[in-house]
Amino acid sequence: MRCPFCGNMDSQVKDSRPTEDGAAIRRRRFCPACQSRFTTFERVQLRDLVVVKKNGQRAPFDRDKLARSIQIACRKRPIDSDRIERVVNAIQRRLESSGETEIPSNTVGEMVMEALATLDPVAYVRFASVYRNFREAKDFESFVGKLGGEDAG
């Protein structure tokens, strides 16, 4: 593993343990060249996933893109970043354990919608507005009205 400070390739692992959610291994490393310490997180990837978009285009599954989209929906909401990380890990594990290597993009979107619905109602509506491509205020009204009458007016 390359040292992020000096670029030395000979960093040494000083401590290694699983993260709290068990989805990654946390390694505490030491660089003998510059005497720096740094941490890496290593994840086991069960299989290479490919996302099939609506237009038929295929792209490798991008965990960071998934995390960014959820973080954007949760921006300025009282949601701990660890909870967001757990949601991303859970979605990725579900996709990897599905047995499929090609995942339709709407499957990923529905999993995010499902997770956000239980995490935060505002983040859920924010994500839905982009995912469902709301164009007018009545689209919001209709969607929010279907949420079960929670303060519907």
Per-residue pLDDT tens for 126-139? Answer: 998 888 777 777 77
Q: For residue 1, what pLDDT is reported? A: 84
Q: CB count, 10 Å around CB of 73?
A: 25
Rounded Cα gap, residues 67 and 87, in angstroms: 9
Q: Which has the higher per-residue pLDDT, 48 or 143?
A: 48
CB-side exposure of 33: number of CA atoms within 13 Å? Answer: 10
Question: Can you tell me whether residue 42 is helix, strand or coil?
Answer: strand
Q: pTM, whole model, 2 decimals?
A: 0.67
Short-list 68, 64, 79, 63, CA closest to 123: 79
Per-residue pLDDT tens for 10-47? Answer: 999 999 998 877 778 999 999 999 999 999 988 766 67
| For the chain, domain boundaries | 12-43, 62-145
Q: Which has the higher per-residue pLDDT, 129 or 5?
A: 5
